[in-house]
Amino acid sequence: MECVYSNDCRNFNKSCFKCFNYNMYQPHKEYKRLRPKSVNRKEKKQGMEFEKEGAKKYNQAVHFAKDIAHRQLASGAFSFALGDMITEEELTAALAEFKERGSVNAKGEKYITIHKKWLDKLKEEAKLMGRDYYFLPFRFKDGDKDYVVLEYDLLLSYVQTIQMLVEQIKLLQKQLSV
């Protein structure tokens, strides 16, 4: 007697002699093509939305320039596109590494640990990307405020650049009023 499931059964010719009333019937496995991990993920990579928001905020803060900040491909995973965000200003081009983390201690207080290796790696990547400035924006998970970690000397350099530009504006205004 020929089996009605002979074309559809995964066990055909393997377990037919044990099969009674089609109890050994198993359909063929459905093979799925492999997809990149990013397609299979149901949730976005942790911090990816924070990186996008950070680049958008930066561009809004420097509104006279058109999109000088942008997210790096694959969040800095490629050697030619390090860091999470890179900026293109003339005087203060920078590299940024975004971190969205946070834990709660026994008292229920939120905290984040900033690792020195993150800062060292960011400094090295900034050098490789030809940037003198670099910073580490972070926020607490599910938080609404963003913070930044940067070397004090870099902050002073930003202040000096601002002061120099203010002085240049004053000189130009004086020249115009004469």
| CA separation, residue 154 to residues 36, 81, 112, 132 (Å) | 39, 22, 22, 9
Q: Which of 100, 170, 81 is nearest to 138 (CA)?
A: 100
Reported residue count of the chain is 178
pLDDT tens readout for residues 9-60: 877 777 777 777 777 777 877 766 666 555 545 455 666 787 788 778 877 7
The one-character DSSP state at 9 is B
Q: How far is CA 127 from the centre of its chain?
A: 19
CATH 3.40.1350, domain 48-177, yes or no? yes
User: What pLDDT does 34 receive?
Assistant: 63
User: What tokens were used for 37?
Assistant: 């991990």
SS3 call for 171: helix
Q: How far is CA 100 from the centre of its chain?
A: 10
Ranges of residues in the chain with a pLDDT under 50 are: 40, 42
Q: Is the pTM of this model over 0.75?
A: no
- For the chain, give every residue range classified as CATH 3.40.1350: 48-177
User: What pLDDT does 148 receive?
Assistant: 94
User: What pLDDT does 163 receive?
Assistant: 93
User: What pLDDT does 117 receive?
Assistant: 95
Residues 98 and 50 sit within 8 Å (Cβ to Cβ):
yes
User: What tokens were used for 103?
Assistant: 């834990």
The one-character DSSP state at 32 is -
